Amino acid sequence: MHVNVNMTRCRRAKKMVKDKLAINFVLEFVMLWDDAG
């Protein structure tokens, strides 16, 4: 399997994944505190 992907596209995809993970982490943290309070 040979995939032709340039570095810009790779970095952009990596950033999107990181941003989504960060948002999910914050949302879960907020929900956790809502349940605790």
| Domain positions in the chain | 1-36
- For each of the chain's 37 residues, which pLDDT tens digit applies? 677 788 899 999 999 999 999 999 999 999 988 887 6
Q: For residues 17 and 22, what is the distance between their CA atoms, to the nearest angstrom?
A: 9
DSSP category for residue 2 = -
Residue 3: what pLDDT? 75
* Burial letters 15-36, b for 16+ CB under 10 A, else e: eeeeeeeeeeeeeeeeeeeeee
Distance of CA 10 to the CA centre of its chain: 14
Q: For residues 10 and 14, what is the distance between their CA atoms, to the nearest angstrom?
A: 6
Could you tell me the pTM of the whole model? 0.58
Residue 1: what pLDDT? 67
